[in-house]
Amino acid sequence: MIDWEPYRHVDLNRVTGHIWRAGITEDFAAATSTTGEPVIRTMDMNPIAPPPSKSQSHLPATSPVSAYALWQLQKHKRNLREEYLDRWEATATKTGTGRPVDAIISPVGAHAAAPHGKNLSASYTVVFNALDYPALAFPVTTVHPVLDGPKPAHQFLSSEDIVNYNLCKTTSPSASSS
């Protein structure tokens, strides 16, 4: 076992988000057209934006992306994937077997299950979607009200990190029992 150093996860999240948002308005409209269901706020691909007022419960239209721009994003993602694979293969110099690592063990979320509509980030799993690496998620424990409460504030890695920290603070068992 060796420690895995995350490599360009922010870039992988960003490019994948841009690809997923390309034509998202049309995709959601097509998916909901047969039932007439509205596209709700929790389907928004920009979770850090402030929540809309009740009169803005539908997603705003996204800017169209040209085929050329979409292909540029896809090429960028391909290059990131190649860099990641090179990094993976290079772990052969760090393992005791002389072979690259077999798997990465990583959390799939920043916190235990969030309340409905509050799961604002898929950043822990988007990386593996972008890399097209198979993944498996399974529970390893239960939340303990004292041990798993919010940790003291620290240096945050990004604005998304702050959002996740605050969500953990407001949804932890110790926060709700006090």
In a domain, 121, yes or no: yes
In a domain, 4, yes or no: no
| Position 9 pLDDT exceeds 60 | yes
- pLDDT averaged over the chain? 78
Position 57 scores a pLDDT of 35
177 is written with which tokens? Answer: 């029992």
In a domain, 113, yes or no: yes
- Banded model confidence at residue 78, pLDDT cuts 50, 70, 90: very high
Query: Can you tell me the mean pLDDT for 62-72?
Result: 83
Query: Can you tell me the mean pLDDT for 53-81?
Result: 73
Structurally, the chain folds into a number of domains equal to 1
**Cα 6 to Cα 118: distance, rounded to the nearest angstrom:** 26
In a domain, 173, yes or no: yes
**Cα 58 to Cα 43: distance, rounded to the nearest angstrom:** 9
Long-range contacts of 71-80 (CB under 8 A, 24+ apart): 73/15, 73/18, 73/19, 73/22, 74/19, 76/15, 77/12, 77/15, 77/16, 77/19, 77/130, 80/8, 80/11, 80/12, 80/15, 80/130
The vertex-80 CA angle with 79 and 84, nearest 5°, equals 120
Q: Which domain holds residue 79?
A: 9-22+65-177
In a domain, 50, yes or no: no
Reported as a single tens digit per residue, the pLDDT across 103-136 is 998 887 766 666 677 776 777 888 999 999 988 8
In a domain, 83, yes or no: yes
In a domain, 77, yes or no: yes
In a domain, 157, yes or no: yes
**150 and 162 Cβ atoms separated by less than 8 Å:** no
Side-chain half-sphere exposure of 130, counting CA atoms within 13 A: 33
